[in-house]
Amino acid sequence: MSEREAIACLGAGRMARGLAVVFAYGGHPVAIVDLKSRGEADFVRVAADVVGEVRGTLGILAAFGLFANEAVDVIASRVPLP
């Protein structure tokens, strides 16, 4: 299987986080591009929130039996901390 194209999700809100989950599940590396001007502390907080929500959503999907719980880390690693 060939390498999947990289995806950029513009914004760091709920929609971008949901899209990141879908594309990461599909095997694509995903970059979340936060378009808001933020101070360093806010950026770090939002970045951690993004990764946490992506991991949480993947955990819920695994709990529903859509894939093995062990796959959460693999899929989440496709959405690295910005």
DSSP state of 3: P
What pLDDT score does 2 carry? 54
0.75 surpassed by pTM: yes
What pLDDT score does 3 carry? 87
How far is it, in rounded angstroms, from Cα 8 to Cα 39?
A: 22
28 with 7: CB under 8 angstroms?
Answer: yes
What pLDDT score does 17 carry? 96
DSSP per-residue letters across 10-72: ESSSHHHHHHHHHHHHTT--EEEE--S---HHHHHHHHHHHHHHHHHHHHHHHHTTSS-TTHH
pLDDT tens across the length of the chain (82 residues): 458 999 999 999 999 999 999 999 999 999 999 999 999 999 999 999 999 999 999 999 999 999 999 999 999 999 987 6
